[in-house]
Amino acid sequence: SWSSSDSVISSDSAGEPSEPGSPYRVVLLGSSGVGKTAFASIFAGAADSMDSDDCELCGDEMCEKEIEVDGESAVLTLFDTWDAENDNEHYMQTGDAYLLLYSITDRTSFLRASELRITLRRFRPAQYTPIILVGNKCDLVRRREVSVSEGRACAAVFDCKFIETSAAMQHNVWEAFRGIVRQLRLRRDSKAA
């Protein structure tokens, strides 16, 4: 079994899609304070998980879970090791898919998400990598600084999906993970065709 994230994210596999049946590597990106840890906790806590007792593969930096999406199971390895202060480009190269988080209460985090999207594009110029722009903390309606339409427009410009979530209310968080799996499957199926 995996003892450290280093053994999972090897440079050999950088930029390559997972082998069939192997876990999809999903990376959480975004400014400090936007809710990445909250997302990871929900994923690890796994109300939706098929094997919630199995925490062997869950550590501080990553968590592996099997979830069911549209009647088919998928194994996701979630990485929450992004350090917004350091330019940890390692994770820009090794995810199969990305959840790009900002807080709807923090315009700076929204701008940062755009920057991160551009950085991702630089690392992944040629291939289609599923990315969902996630506007978190949508429960904090009175502190909103970024409108839904701005979020949607940004996602359209950057050619990615968009969803607003509330980790605090557990609203749409699993929908975001399911969205990632659906996009990964579309990519897989289009390659197989």
CA distance 95 to 124: 10
In this chain, which stretch among 114-122, 134-142, 150-158, 185-193 interacts with ligand GDP, using CB under 6 A?
134-142
Q: CB 75 → ligand GDP: shortest distance, Å?
A: 23
Q: Is 143 left (phi over 0), alpha (psi -120 to 50) or beta?
A: alpha
- Determine which residue in the list 64, 137, 160, 176 makes contact with ligand GDP, applying CB under 6 A: 137
In the DSSP assignment, the letter for residue 98 is E
What residue ranges in 32-182 does DSSP mark as E strands?
62-69, 72-79, 97-103, 131-136, 161-164
Could you tell me how far CA 4 lies from the centroid of its own chain? 20
Judge contact between 66 and 50, C-beta under 8 A.
yes
Is residue 36 close enough to count as binding ligand GDP by CB under 6 A? yes
Give me 106's structure tokens. Answer: 């923090």
Q: Determine the interface stretch with ligand GDP among 52-60, 68-76, 136-144, 182-190 (rule: CB under 6 A).
A: 136-144
Region from 53-61, 112-120, 150-158, 165-173 binding ligand GDP, contact rule CB under 6 A: 165-173
Provide the pairing of β-strand 62-69 with 72-79: antiparallel
Nearer to ligand GDP, 57 or 140 (CB): 140
Complex with ligand GDP: residue 24 or 102, whichever CB lies closer = 102
Is 37 an interacting residue with respect to ligand GDP (CB under 6 A)?
A: yes
Closest by CA position to 185, among listed 116, 125, 177: 177
Give the total of residues touching ligand GDP (CB under 6 A): 15
Residue in 77, 94, 129, 166 binding ligand GDP, rule: CB under 6 A: 166
Beta carbon nearer to ligand GDP, 42 or 160: 42
Distance CA 22, CA 38 (A): 25
Site residues for ligand GDP per CB under 6 A: 30, 32-38, 136-137, 139-140, 166-168
